[in-house]
Amino acid sequence: MKTQKSIPTTKVERSAKFVKTGFQIGGNYIKHYSKKLFNPDLDRSQLNEDNATDIYQSLSELKGSALKIAQMLSMDKNILPKSYVDKFTQSQYNAPPLSGPLIVRTFTRNFGKTPQEIFDTFNINSTNAASIGQVHQASLNGKKLAVKIQYPGVGDSISSDLNLVKPFAFRLLGMDERELAIYIKEVEERLLEETDYELEVKRSIEFTEACKNLPNIVFPSYYPEFSAKRIITMDWIEGQHLKEFLNTNPSQELKNKIGQALWDFYNFQQHELRAVHADPHPGNFLITPDENLGVIDFGCIKELPDDFYYPFFSLISSDVIKDKAKTIDAFRKLDMIHADDTAQQVEFYYKSYKEMIELFAKPYTSNSFDFGKPEFFTKLYEYGEKISKMPEFKQARGVKHFIYVNRTNFGLYTILHELNAVVKTDTYKPKVLV
């Protein structure tokens, strides 16, 4: 893959890139409607393909929060047309890597030394390049290491990037301005944490220690002495990403084992730690040669405060959902039903959200669940499609915590579906106030 020799880092440079992309998209629309004059039956698939290619190309060169949003959207498969999902999914694994001189410069700024002066060996070619950083293989004293290097300017450009992304988000997501502002603010807070690699090392050590007794999961050790604000050094874990693993035609037993490890990993954190690894895209996991699940990234952590956790999980794991008054009360606490809603609106949102919660909670309602069955996901996507067309859902509903909690759980469900895994869902149960 061709390397990238520089990244636009100033606000002016990054704005210019977005403006250029906007012109390209405008040209795509003109081309589409010109063709439609001669072929009225022409659908939007080529237009979507062209726009997705241009937007992804632009975001790939900008990297950082702009590319991270593409990565997040690629996981919300019922939000975007398929061509966008297919293109944006690339950001989970293989954004264009940075060139060698940029890598060396980052090391000298952080350590006053080149990587070759710190490690016994250092591969200047990246093995994996994603939205915020890229990974290089190194070794020291016979130990194989993974060195994650953050792209220049990523941490400094988050706020301005998110403002530049807004026009694209308006068009792609169909959100109203208030809802988009809440979404952008929450994303900004998480991204600021995610670009602080010193915080990530600290959290990684805390979380791996807390999760060390979970079966069939392995974590790398982290090395603070070889880490800095923009660099993380950890053990190299051998393994295959999900697609590579599935291409080996693994047995159902092994897929269930990996699926169970994933389920336990997420639900232990949600219900025991009240903070969760909120970036469940397949690029953050490896299946190791000895058939365990390797977790290699703790950059994005979402804490679950009590005033969100208890009302939300009481709806999923108790009889609250069977009691209309208690359910409406929980919806009010979660800002899904507003104080100034009319009786008619209360009834409408009660029925709509009850349907959503009952769907989401299906895996929790029995001791085990088969994520390979397509009916569950068909109903989820149909529900998402239905409410996306309803004017009642154009206004902001729900507290900000839903953004990452939904992303986490639907991301988990999606990976388990790709695995076709059958898992025991009663291993770490939600805590409910009596």
Whole-number Å distance between alpha carbons of 107 and 119: 12
List, for residues 305-320, the tens digit of each pLDDT value: 999 999 999 998 778 9
Number of domains in the chain: 3
Higher pLDDT, 181 or 79: 181
148 within a domain of the structure (yes/no) = yes
Measure CA of the first residue to CA of the last residue in the chain; give whole Å.
57
Residues 223, 253 within the same domain? no
Whether 305 and 316 share a structural domain = yes
Reported as a pLDDT band with limits 50, 70 and 90, residue 76 is very low
Co-location of 353 and 377 in the same domain: yes
pLDDT at 125: 87
Residue 67 and residue 57: Cα distance in Å, rounded? 10
The CA–CA distances, whole Å, from 80 to 1, 41, 57, 171, 304 equal: 27, 22, 17, 10, 27
Q: Which of 433, 414, 407, 423 is nearest to 315 (CA)?
A: 433
Lookup result for tokens 């169909």: 174
Question: 158, 193 in Cβ contact below 8 A?
Answer: no
Contacts of 37 (CB under 8 A, 6+ apart): none
Domain end call among 207, 236, 265:
236
Does pLDDT of 215 surpass 60? yes
Q: What percent of the chain is helix, strand and coil (3-state, nearest 5)?
A: 60, 10, 30
275 pLDDT band (50/70/90 cuts)? very high
Domain final residue pick, 236, 261, 286: 236
Q: Do residues 202 and 330 share a domain?
A: no
Where in the sequence is the domain holding 328, given as residue range(s)?
244-434
Residues 264 and 348 in one domain: yes
Shortest CA distance to 381 belongs to which of 54, 79, 16, 174?
79
Residues 6+ positions from 301 with CB-CB distance below 8 Å: 193, 203, 207, 275, 276, 277, 278
* Residue 256: alpha-carbon gap to chain centroid: 23
Measure the CA–CA gap between 264 and 282, rounded to whole angstroms: 16
Report if residue 434 sits inside a domain. Answer: yes
Do 90 and 100 share a domain, yes or no? no
Same domain, 299 and 409: yes
Asked if residue 5 belongs to a domain, the reply is: no
Domain shared by 317 and 376, yes or no: yes
Relative to beta strand 301-303, strand 275-277 is: antiparallel
Q: Are 336 and 398 in contact (CB under 8 A)?
A: yes
pLDDT given at position 289: 97
Region label for 393, one of left (φ > 0), alpha (ψ between -120 and 50) or beta (otherwise):
alpha
Residue 225: the pLDDT is: 95
Task: Please report where in the chains the tokens 């600021």 appear, as a residue.
Answer: 192
Within a domain: 282: yes
Answer with the one of 236, 264, 293 that is the final residue of a domain: 236
Residues 228 and 272 in one domain: no
Burial (CB count within 10 angstroms: exposed 0-12, middle 13-18, buried 19+), residue 57: middle
Tell me, yes or no, whether 250 and 328 share the same domain.
Answer: yes
Per-residue CA distances from 70 to 48, 92, 162, 297 (Å): 15, 9, 12, 18
Mark whether 418 and 315 lie in a shared domain. yes
Long-range own/partner contacts, residues 219-222 (CB < 8 A, 24 or more apart): 219/294, 219/295, 220/146, 220/294, 220/296
In a domain, 1, yes or no: no
Residue 2 lies in a domain: no
Answer yes or no: are the C-beta atoms of 214 and 266 closer than 8 Å: no
List, in order, residues 6 or more apart from 414 with CB less than 8 Å away. 75, 77
Q: Is the pLDDT of residue 401 over 50?
A: yes
The better pLDDT of the pair 434, 195 is held by 195
Q: What string of DSSP letters covers 35-96?
A: HHHH-TT--SHHHHHHHHHHHHHHHHHH-HHHHHHHHHHHH-TTTS-HHHHHHHGGGGTBPP
Q: What is the pLDDT, as a whole number, of residue 78?
A: 43
- Residue 107 and residue 114: Cα distance in Å, rounded? 6
The H or E element spanning position 128 is: strand 128-129
Indicate if the pLDDT at residue 391 is higher than 50.
yes
Convert 142-197 into a string of H (helix), E (strand) and C (coil). CEEEEEEEECCCCCCCHHHHHHHHHHHHHHHHCCCHHHHHHHHHHHHHHHHHHCCH
Question: What whole-number distance in Å separates Cα of residue 195 and Cα of residue 152?
Answer: 11
124 shares its domain with 82:
no
- Does 150 score more than 70 pLDDT? yes
H runs (alpha helix) in 389-428? 401-419
Q: What is the mean pLDDT of residues 307-335?
A: 92
Residues 233-269: tens digit of each pLDDT: 999 999 999 989 999 999 999 999 999 999 999 999 9
> Does residue 431 sit within a domain?
yes
CB of 122 within 8 A of CB of 116? yes
What CATH number does the domain containing 211 carry? Answer: 3.30.200
Residue 190 lies in a domain: no
> What pLDDT is stored for residue 327 in this prediction?
95
